[in-house]
Structure formats: C-alpha cells, structure tokens
Amino acid sequence: MNYEIQGGSFPVVVCNVEANETIITEGGGMSWMSPNMQMQTTSNGGLGKMLGRMMTRESLFQNKYTPQGGPGQIAFASSLPGEIVALEINPQQSYICQKSSFLASTEGVELSTFFQRKLGAGLVGGEGFIMQKLSGNGTAFVEIDGAAIRYNLQPGQQLIVDTGHVVLMSDTCKMDVQTVKGVKNMLFGGEGFFNTVVTGPGEVVLQTMPVIKLAGSIAPYVVTSSN
C-alpha cells in the first residue's frame, strides 16, 4: 500500500491498495473508493473487542476493504478540521491514543483498549481511564483536532500539557496529573486545577484544538444565532 494525505485543514488519506491487501476502518469510515473494493463487516475479535471499541467511542463493528482483480483505491476523511497522522507500528513501537482518534489501518495493526493505571490520570487528566492502543505491525491513520505538534522525549524528560491536548504517545511514555500550584492560579488563572504530565522516553503528539475547546469556542455564536 501507498498513501497520500490531502485536503489541508479538512484532510483525507487516499490509499492505493494492492490486490488482496486489506484495509480496516471503523463502521462508516469510508469516504470514497474504486468499484473493485469489496467490503466485509466484522466484529474483528468477538464480543470482547466490540465492547472495548464501544468504550473508546468507536463503532461496534469494523469494515475490511480488499480490492478484487487488481489494485484498488479507498479514501478516509477526517470528521473534524485538523490533520491525519500516519503511524508506522511494529512490535517495538506501539502507541496509546485518545478515544475516537482511530481512522483506518492496514490489516496487521491491532486496535485494543488501554486502561489508565493511575487514578488521578484517569479522573482529571482529560483523556479518561479508557484509551486506545495501536500495536502489531503495519500503518495506522489517526485523526488530530487542529494541528499536530510532535515531541520526542528522552528518558525522564517531562512535558506539562493542558487538559485534552495529548492525542497520542508511545506506549513507553507514562501519563500522570499534577495540581496547578497556588490557590489564586487555580481560581483565576483560567487553566483549571490540573495539568497532564507526560514522561518519556518516547514520542508524544499534541493537538492544538481539542474538540471540546472547539465546541466551547463556537457555542456562544450558536446560542446567539438560535435566539
């Protein structure tokens, strides 16, 4: 497979797939495709996997697309303005991602449920107890809200991040929370009570406009127009 990410701030990944090569996406993820792409809807792992996807806000079922009689083409568009990031996954490199970020992947990539081990990170870290894990071997495509900013953290190196901005990280990274210092800062600083702390080693990808902040920014205008 080869692919091209197009569309600027309204991105789509166009995948050119070899004969009998399979691409997997969540239900409803396909945007357009060549006529020879054959779809097969599957639970892709049984009831346990289905429930895990439901907890991470993905579809219960996944669709597999395979070209018949020769190469084919299929495209997957992002659901919000932002970016699509391609991740090369292998047994030595897996990723932890926020809920609903998975877009599509080659067949060798496994999408599973990841549970935050630390109570604080799950309760107030912004990403919740339940996240997604991408492992196996192949290429996966992930949706980013706004622009994607990448960091490569050294062992022990930390990054303090506002709630909701961590979209994915290497599974070698650790996530925790810390309290904003100072009562005045908590009450009047506008940053809330907690920040997320990511500790390396590994790659971290941040998003500049989490969907919750985008919704908060446009809400006053929606209310005004409805009145």
Domains of the chain, residue spans: 2-226
- Quick one: DSSP state of residue 211? H
Express each pLDDT in 164-192 by its tens digit.
Answer: 899 999 999 998 887 766 544 444 444 55
Tell me, what's the pLDDT at 59? 59
Beta bridge mates, 111: 134
pTM, two decimal places: 0.80
Q: Which residues are within 8 A (CB) of 86 and not within 5 positions of it... i.e. 6 or more apart? A: 3, 5, 13, 139, 140, 141
Q: Which residues are within 8 A (CB) of 81 and not within 5 positions of it... i.e. 6 or more apart? A: 9, 10, 145, 146, 209
Instruction: State the distance between the two ends of the chain, measured CA to CA, in whole angstroms.
Output: 50
Tokens found for residue 76? 């997957």
Express each pLDDT in 18-42 by its tens digit.
Answer: 998 999 998 788 999 999 999 999 8
Express each pLDDT in 87-127 by its tens digit.
Answer: 999 999 999 998 888 999 999 999 888 776 554 444 444 44
**Correct CATH for 2-226 of 3.40.50.2000, 3.40.50.1780, 1.25.10.10, 3.60.160.10:** 3.60.160.10
Residue 176, number of CB atoms within 10 A of its CB: 16
d(CA 23, CA 36): 13
Beta bridge mates, 2: 16
Helix, strand or coil, per DSSP, at residue 11: coil
